[in-house]
Every structure is written in C-alpha cells, then in structure tokens.
C-alpha cells in the first residue's frame, strides 16, 4: 500500500476511535447501563433468532457472551473504518454514506433491542458524529469537502511534485498528519475515560439505591375519587418515569447516599451536618404534592403530582436555629444550581415543605434529586425544589439581592392553573354529547372550582374529582352538547381563597404561567 493510501486507512481507524470515545461519553452522560461495545454485543445477541442459539450442539450464546464476539466486533469495525478511510481519498461522499448506513444499522439494533428508550439512540448518533469529526480532522478538514465538489486539491507541502492524477494523499506533511492523528487519538482516549468514569459512578450509585429498603416510607395510595375515569386524562398520580424533568445538569449528579450530607449554616445558632442515615431516621412526613415549573405555559406538561416522603423543612430549620433577622435560605445542589427560598415558606407549619428522600414510595430517582431534594407546596420548582441538595445557607433577602438578581416571577406563589386534556387538540369527535376533562392545581390552598367555556360562551362549572389534597392537583370533567363544526374550549381554575386563574396573555404579563389553555376540536356531521 502506498503511503498516501496507508494514511487514509489510518485516518479511518483513528476516526473510528473518536467515534467510540464520543459514543462512550454519550452513553455515560445519558447514564445508560452499557457503553457502545457491550450494547452492540447485547443487541446482536437479542437479534439472533432463537433457533440459532443452540445449533448443532454449538451454544451461540456462550460464544456471543464470551470474548470472541467482542474481538470479532473490534476487528470488523477496524476493517470497516480503514476501508471507509480509504474511500475518503475520493471525496467525502462515500464515507458519509457509509457513516449514515452504519448509524442506521445502529438505530435499527436499538429499535429491536427490548425495552429501549429514546436516549439509547444518543450514543449511536454520537458515534457517527465522532467518526465524521475524526475523519474530517485527520483528513485535513476542508480539503475533503473541496475534493468532494470536484475542486482540485491544494498541494500539500510534503507532496511536492504530485499531479492531480496521482493518488490523492492527505494534506500536508507527514508530521502534520501525525500531529492531527495524535490529537484525535488523545481526544478519543479522553472521551472514553470520562465516559467510563461517569458510567461507573452512575452504576455504583444506582446499585446503592436499588439496595435501599425504606421501611419508614408508606407506598402511595391514590385517594378514592381523585382519579376520574375519562379516557385520555393524565393519571392523577404521575409515575416517576413520566415525571417531567427540568434542570441544567448536563450530567446527572451521582451522589452515594452514604457520602451525602446537607450542611445548614450561615445565620444560625448552630451549624448542622445532616447525614442520610440521620435524615431517614427522623420522623417522616408524607403527602401528595404537585410540583410545577415556572416555565410551564398554559397547557404545558412541566407539572406532575407525586407522593413525597421526607422530613419537614421546618424541623430542619429548627435544628439549626434561625437567628433573628434571617429570612432567606440559599439552597444549593451538587450540580451547582441554587435557589433562594424564604425561611417563612420553609418554616411554615401549615405548609408541607419537605426535604424529601422518596417519591411515590421509592428512593428518589437519580434524575429527581437522589438522595434528597426539597419540595415546598405552592412555590415554583425554580424557587424551592432544589434537587441533589447539599447546602443551605441561612441569610437575609437584602444580602442575597446584592449578589444575585432573582426573576421577580420567582417570588410569586404558584398561580391557580388548569389544563384541558380531553378532547385532544385538533381531534374529530362524533356528534352528540362532548366530554371535556382536564387537570387543575392551586397549591397550597387547593382548587375550589374549575369552569369551562366553549366558543367564548358563558363559564360553567365543571365536576371535580376528590379535591381534599390541597397541595396536589385535581381532575375535572364537564359535558356539553355541541353542533357539528369547529369549537374552542377554555378552562379556568379558582383557589380556595378566591383567586381566579390569571387570564393575561403570557407575552403581555411577561410571566409564562399566566393565560388560559385553549383546545380546538371538531364535531363531525352525523
Ligand atoms: N439542583 C437543581 N435543582 C433544581 C433544578 C436544577 O437545575 N438543579 N431545577 C429546578 C427547576 S427549574 C424545576 S421546575 C424543578 C424540577 O424538578 P424535577 O426535575 O424533579 O421535575 O427542579 C428545580 N430544582
Ligand atoms: Mo422550573
């Protein structure tokens, strides 16, 4: 093989390494159980037709789960990568097609693998991206693109005397080629190592979480009558895996419960260092609470309803002893995120603010703040519900105001709000009685009524499901007879102290949580 061709083949292999590294990093970051290599092996094993599993006395599973398949996969990938690198000497089209095809096969394997979720596609995409970037970098970047468009290649310094009919080599001197390759190899090793470390941390913590038996936690029991039997309605209790997630953590913090501590300090009589064992050993308080994001627009799904178990935030403040004049707590999570919550809200005995360690009867999922997070009824998530919380600094609002600017909307309590879930937006319905249904919340007072209006007509009361859990959300339903044609339904909630849902357009109020949700649907002719 000529040196030029050798360089291209090597470029392909080096690019594949980066693809592997990025894929490994992505798998770790989106916290998958396995990285690309083991994932691929697993996918192949599950894709094998059962009749081939034991064939003529040869146990294919034993072979497949042993090292042989891994070796074959590595060799096969290396050969394919080298061939793709070689093909790049003729321009970027063939490698692009090969990369897309390989990614497509990867996606297909993800699809056929049982119990896959959308995040399983991320490492596949990252692998393809890494290969593309690697090849572009080692291959000399733009020269590849230019050749692809038929523009003659710029002559490399180390290849003086080449003519355009020569075999196209890689741009630049051998030295430059080696430097580019080395950079990509280093990047590949770094991403692989970081991906492994993240993945390991996650697996260890996840295993610790699985072993926890929280006997002090009561399993959730949906109050009778809270769940209305209307098809298409969101379940009253939001399962953990369906609970919305909002955070700025690129990588979910993985905290070993045994290592976790909450430090309460600042303007307190005595500093408190609370361990997980101490926390779960305290008197547990539990309750249904809807958690609402400040970013939740009318009709949005950044809201969920769960059964939370923990220790009252009031009790924790009491342990530390808040000094006179201190009126704020800066809560900080392990991801570095922080929020300011008033000592009044955290210390209010009528409000069920919790340092929660369980959600729907299970240890908090890692994504929702394991091992502990705060949750305060009636305050938006961004103003109170610190996940992975490790630090409470008791201070004063005026002191905090000097260094950080809080969104004024953050200081508002959760507004009464309602959402139309049935009928689905833009649906076609049979003529006759039309059933309307949805969800409403107004923590901590609770919802007293929900009204609906069709086509801008009079507001009429909806029927509510059991609404005794004031911090939770409530389901509502109504029935109307409508003529064929297009209709618009709107809903508004009122809380128990008389506040009506704010109808103001979010654009005008500059508050995303204001405004009414409206749903358009069509009643078809009989
Ligand atoms: N540590 C930490 N806590 C956080 C956040 C975050 O980014 N980091 N996001 C907040 C926001 S804006 C909301 S709406 C809620 C969302 O909680 P969830 O992801 O459990 O639904 O968490 C809050 N707590
Ligand atoms: Mo939020």
Arithmetic mean of pLDDT, 306-323: 98
Gap from CA of 338 to ligand 1 centroid (Å): 10
Q: How far is the CA of 382 from the centre of ligand 2 (A)?
A: 4
Confidence band for 301, pLDDT divided at 50, 70 and 90 = very high
For the record, the structure tokens of 267 come out as 């303007």
Q: What is the pLDDT of residues 384-401, one digit of tens each?
A: 999 999 999 999 988 988
Q: What is the pLDDT of residues 86-106, one digit of tens each?
A: 998 888 889 999 999 999 988
3-state class of 88 per DSSP?
Answer: helix
Residue having the nearest C-alpha atom to atom 15 of ligand 1: 381
Kindly tell me the sign of the dihedral angle through the C-alpha atoms of 109, 114, 118, 119: negative
- Give domain status of residue 501, yes or no: yes
**Closest residue (by CA) to atom 18 of ligand 1?**
245
Ligand 1 centroid–CA 289 distance in Å is 15
What CATH number should be reported for the domain holding residue 433? 2.60.40.650
Tell me whether residue 110 is in a domain. yes
Residue recorded with tokens 């339904």: 489
- In this structure, the answer to whether residues 182 and 88 fall within a common structural domain is yes
Q: Answer yes or no: do 501 and 385 share one domain.
A: no
> DSSP label at 224?
T
The dihedral over CA atoms of 324, 327, 330, 331, expressed in degrees to the nearest 10, equals: 90
Output the CA 293–ligand 2 centroid distance in Å. Answer: 4
> Which of 260, 372, 382, 387 for a ligand 1 pocket mutation test, highest count of atoms within 8 Å of Cβ?
387
pLDDT higher than 90, residue 162: no
Pocket of ligand 1 (CB under 6 A): 243-249, 291, 293, 333, 335, 337, 368, 381-382, 385-388
pLDDT in tens, 461-509: 999 999 999 999 999 999 999 999 999 999 999 999 999 999 998 888 8
Both 308 and 445 in one domain: the answer is: no
Tally of structural domains, the chain = 3
Element (H, E) at 133: helix 121-138
- Assess if residue 219 is contained within a domain: no
Residues 87 and 151 in one domain: yes
Q: How far is the CA of 155 from the centre of ligand 1 (A)?
A: 54
Q: What is the pLDDT of residue 263?
A: 98
| 222 within domain boundaries | no
Final residue before a domain boundary, out of 160, 180, 205: 205
Domain closes at, from 403, 438, 469 = 403
pLDDT at 5 over 90: no
Q: Are residues 463 and 514 both part of a single domain?
A: yes
In angstroms, rounded to a whole number, what is the distance separating the alpha carbons of residues 343 and 480? 46
CATH number of the domain where residue 361 is located? 3.90.420.10
Q: Are residues 9 and 155 in the same domain?
A: yes
Domain-terminating residue out of 403, 430, 465: 403
For 281, residues 6+ apart whose C-beta sits below 8 A from its C-beta are none
Are both 511 and 377 inside the same structural domain? no
Q: Point out the ligand nearest to the CA of residue 512.
A: 2
pLDDT at 510: 83
pLDDT value of position 118: 75
226 in a structural domain: no
Query: Hey, which of 238, 243, 246 would you mutate to test ligand 1's pocket, going by the most ligand atoms within 8 Å of its Cβ?
Result: 246
Domain identity same for 398 and 422: no
What's the Cα-to-Cα distance from 351 to each of 290, 347, 369, 470, rounded to whole Å? 13, 8, 21, 10
Under the banding of pLDDT at 50, 70 and 90, the label for residue 407 is low
CA of 294 to the centre of ligand 2 (A): 5
Residue 384 within a domain: yes
Is 118 found in the same domain as 54?
Answer: yes
pLDDT digit string, tens, across residues 10-38:
999 999 999 999 998 988 877 666 677 77
Q: Could you identify the atom of ligand 1 that is nearest to the CA of residue 293? A: 14
226-265 pLDDT tens trace: 999 999 999 999 999 999 999 877 678 889 999 999 999 9
Parent domain of 376: 240-403
Confidence band (pLDDT; 50, 70, 90) for 405? confident
pLDDT digits (tens, 9 = 90+) for 126-153: 999 999 999 988 887 645 445 544 444 4
Separation between Cα atoms, residue 306 and residue 369, nearest integer Å: 14
State in Å: Cα 28 to ligand 2 middle: 25
Q: Same domain, yes or no, for 65 and 122?
A: yes
User: Going by CA atoms, what residue is nearest to atom 10 of ligand 1?
Assistant: 382
From the CA of 245, give the closest atom in ligand 1.
19
Alpha helices per DSSP H over 288-389: 313-320, 343-347
Q: What is the pLDDT of residues 192-234, one digit of tens each?
A: 988 888 888 888 898 899 999 999 999 999 999 999 999 999 9
β 328-333/389-395 pair status: antiparallel
The predicted structure's pLDDT at residue 158? 41
Q: How many CB atoms lie within 10 A of CB 156?
A: 20
Let me know if residue 470 belongs to a domain. yes
Residue % of the chain over a pLDDT of 70: 87
Q: Whose CA is nearest to atom 12 of ligand 1?
A: 382
Q: Are residues 289 and 384 in the same domain?
A: yes
How much is the pLDDT for 371?
97
Nearest one of 445, 447, 437, 461 to 517, comparing CA atoms: 437
Do residue 159 and residue 118 come from a single domain?
yes
| 253 assigned to some structural domain | yes
Return d(Cα 436, Cα 488) in angstroms, integer.
Answer: 11
């Amino acid at each position: 093989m000529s040196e030029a061709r050798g360089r291209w083949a090597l470029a392909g292999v080096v690019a594949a390494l980066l693809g592997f590294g990025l894929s490994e990093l992505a798998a770790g970051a989106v916290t998958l159980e396995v990285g690309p290599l083991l994932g691929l092996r697993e996918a192949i094993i599950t894709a094998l037709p059962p009749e081939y599993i034991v064939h003529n006395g040869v146990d294919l599973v034993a072979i497949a789960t042993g090292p042989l398949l891994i070796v074959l996969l590595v060799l096969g990938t290396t050969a394919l990568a080298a061939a793709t690198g070689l093909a790049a000497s003729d321009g970027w089209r063939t490698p692009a097609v090969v990369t897309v095809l390989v990614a497509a096969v990867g996606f297909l394997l993800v699809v056929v693998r049982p119990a896959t979720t959308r995040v399983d596609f991320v490492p596949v995409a990252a692998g393809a991206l890494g290969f593309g970037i690697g090849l572009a970098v080692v291959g000399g970047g733009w020269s590849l693109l230019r050749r692809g468009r038929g523009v003659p290649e710029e002559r490399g310094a180390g290849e003086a005397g080449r003519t355009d009919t020569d075999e196209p080599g890689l741009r630049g001197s051998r030295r430059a080629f080696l430097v580019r390759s080395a950079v990509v190899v280093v990047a590949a090793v770094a991403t692989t190592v970081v991906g492994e470390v993240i993945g390991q941390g996650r697996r260890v913590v996840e295993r610790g979480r699985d072993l926890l038996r929280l006997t002090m936690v009561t399993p959730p029991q949906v109050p009778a009558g809270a769940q209305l039997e209307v098809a298409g309605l969101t379940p009253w209790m939001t399962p953990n895996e369906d609970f919305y997630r909002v955070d700025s953590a690129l990588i979910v913090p993985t905290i070993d419960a045994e290592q976790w501590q909450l430090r309460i300090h600042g303007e307190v009589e005595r500093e408190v260092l609370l361990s997980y064992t101490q926390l779960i050993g305290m008197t547990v308080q539990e309750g249904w609470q809807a958690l609402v994001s400040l970013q939740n627009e009318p009709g949005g799904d950044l809201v969920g309803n769960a059964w939370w178990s923990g220790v009252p935030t009031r009790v924790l403040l009491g342990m530390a002893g808040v000094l006179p004049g201190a009126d704020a707590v800066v809560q900080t999570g392990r991801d570095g995120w922080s929020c300011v919550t008033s000592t009044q809200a955290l210390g209010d005995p009528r409000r069920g603010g919790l340092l929660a360690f369980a959600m729907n009867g299970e240890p908090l999922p890692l994504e929702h703040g394991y091992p502990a997070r705060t949750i305060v009824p009636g305050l938006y998530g961004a103003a109170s519900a610190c996940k992975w919380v490790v630090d409470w600094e008791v201070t004063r609002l005026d002191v905090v105001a000097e260094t950080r600017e809080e969104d004024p909307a953050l200081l508002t309590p959760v507004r009464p709000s309602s959402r139309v879930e049935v009928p689905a937006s833009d649906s076609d319905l049979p003529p006759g009685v039309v059933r309307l249904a949805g969800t409403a919340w107004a923590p901590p007072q609770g919802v007293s009524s929900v009204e609906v209006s069709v086509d801008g007509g009079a507001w009429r009361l909806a029927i509510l499901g059991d609404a005794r859990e004031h911090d939770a959300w409530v389901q509502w339903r109504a029935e109307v007879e409508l003529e064929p044609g297009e209709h618009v339904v709107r809903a508004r909630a009122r809380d128990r102290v008389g506040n009506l849902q704010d109808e103001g357009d979010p654009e005008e109020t500059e508050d995303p949580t204001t405004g009414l949700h409206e749903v358009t649907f069509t009643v078809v002719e009989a």
